Amino acid sequence: MPSNNLIPKNDFYSGFLYNKLFDPFSNNMRDLICTLVPENTKVLDVGCGTGYQLLRMSHKIKAGVGIDLSNKMIAFALKQQAKKGIDHLSFELANADDLSQFDDNEFDLTTMTMVLHEMNTKLRIPALNEMVRVSKRLIIIDYAVSPGLFLSGCMHLIERVVGGIPHYHLFRSYLKDGGVPGLFRKIDLRIIREETALMGMVRVWVGEKI
Ligand SMILES: C[S@@+](CC[C@H](N)C(=O)[O-])C[C@H]1O[C@@H](n2cnc3c(N)ncnc32)[C@H](O)[C@@H]1O
């Protein structure tokens, strides 16, 4: 079971505001992710936020579980799920570095969208290791590492202005880690497919354990 001293972490935009400000602009990226998810699979979405991604792929998957460290995000996701009457998804509060409530290989696929860059630096590798334990294949979506001067500037601006200083430090440490490819190398995860989203600012990496 996840540790008892789980402390929820909320941002000012967690829940309703995130759904209004970010979700509507992410549909192209969401649909791209949906095309990479095989039909009839069991999916774990780590750092699921408002549940938007899982809800959008719910028509093609067998079951889905979303976990997040923000209780406001989880409450919002549960409300959306109830509103849509979808009963093969569930959402729960958990920290990505401790997925001990799930068995080895319990899922066909684990997804994580725009989480690594804002996650506590020390938790990134433990979280990826947990994801590899519960499923053989991962789809990670996050900022591209060197997308060119203009897009790089946009990324820095968004993280500094919207996220504030603590987020910005985490974002910079993500770049220092070499982004997703750098983190994958540290735990011997092989990239088997790569796609571009949000005009090149974001990339989608599909990884498998070597
Ligand atoms: C930018 S939001 C992305 C939300 C969602 N994946 C999406 O695509 O819209 C980042 C999410 O990661 C969650 N998060 C950050 N650190 C986490 C951790 N250690 N464990 C679980 N969730 C975490 C935050 O609470 C937030 O909901």
Domain boundaries, the chain: 16-209
Confidence at residue 4, expressed as pLDDT on a 0 to 100 scale: 54
Q: Please tell me the distance between residue 62's alpha carbon and the centre of ligand 1 in angstroms.
A: 23
In this structure, which residue's CA is closest to atom 13 in ligand 1? 47
Confidence at residue 132, expressed as pLDDT on a 0 to 100 scale: 97
Atom of ligand 1 nearest to the CA of 70: 25
- Provide the whole-model pTM: 0.95
Tens of pLDDT, residues 150-198: 999 999 999 999 889 999 999 999 999 999 999 999 999 999 999 999 9
Atom of ligand 1 nearest to the CA of 119: 16
Percent of the chain past pLDDT 70, that is, above it, reads 98
DSSP H helical ranges for the chain: 16-21, 27-36, 52-57, 71-84, 124-134, 149-158, 164-176, 179-186
Superfamily for the 16-209 domain: Vaccinia Virus protein VP39 (3.40.50.150)
Dihedral sign from CA coordinates of 133, 136, 115, 45: negative
Give me the amino acid identity at 70: S
- Is the CB of residue 205 less than 8 Å from the CB of residue 192? no
Residue to mutate (ligand 1; options 69, 129, 131, 174; most atoms within 8 A of CB):
69
Q: Please tell me the distance between residue 207's alpha carbon and the centre of ligand 1 in angstroms.
A: 19
Confidence at residue 17, expressed as pLDDT on a 0 to 100 scale: 86
Ranges under pLDDT 50 in the chain:
none
Atom of ligand 1 nearest to the CA of 11: 25
- The verdict on the CB of residue 115 being under 6 Å from ligand 1 is yes
Give me the sheet containing 63-68, strands edge to edge: 89-93, 63-68, 42-46, 109-113, 137-143, 202-209, 189-197
How far apart CA 156 and CA 152 sit, in angstroms, is: 6
Confidence at residue 196, expressed as pLDDT on a 0 to 100 scale: 95
Confidence at residue 25, expressed as pLDDT on a 0 to 100 scale: 82
- The verdict on the CB of residue 69 being under 6 Å from ligand 1 is yes
Confidence at residue 21, expressed as pLDDT on a 0 to 100 scale: 83
How far apart CA 165 and CA 175 sit, in angstroms, is: 15
Residue to mutate (ligand 1; options 72, 115, 121; most atoms within 8 A of CB):
115
How far apart CA 92 and CA 154 sit, in angstroms, is: 32
- The verdict on the CB of residue 49 being under 6 Å from ligand 1 is yes
The set of residues, in sequence order, having a beta carbon less than 8 Å from that of 117 and lying 6+ positions away, is: 142, 143, 159, 170, 171, 174, 179
Run of H or E residues at 93: strand 89-93
Relative to beta strand 42-46, strand 202-209 is unpaired
Confidence at residue 95, expressed as pLDDT on a 0 to 100 scale: 96
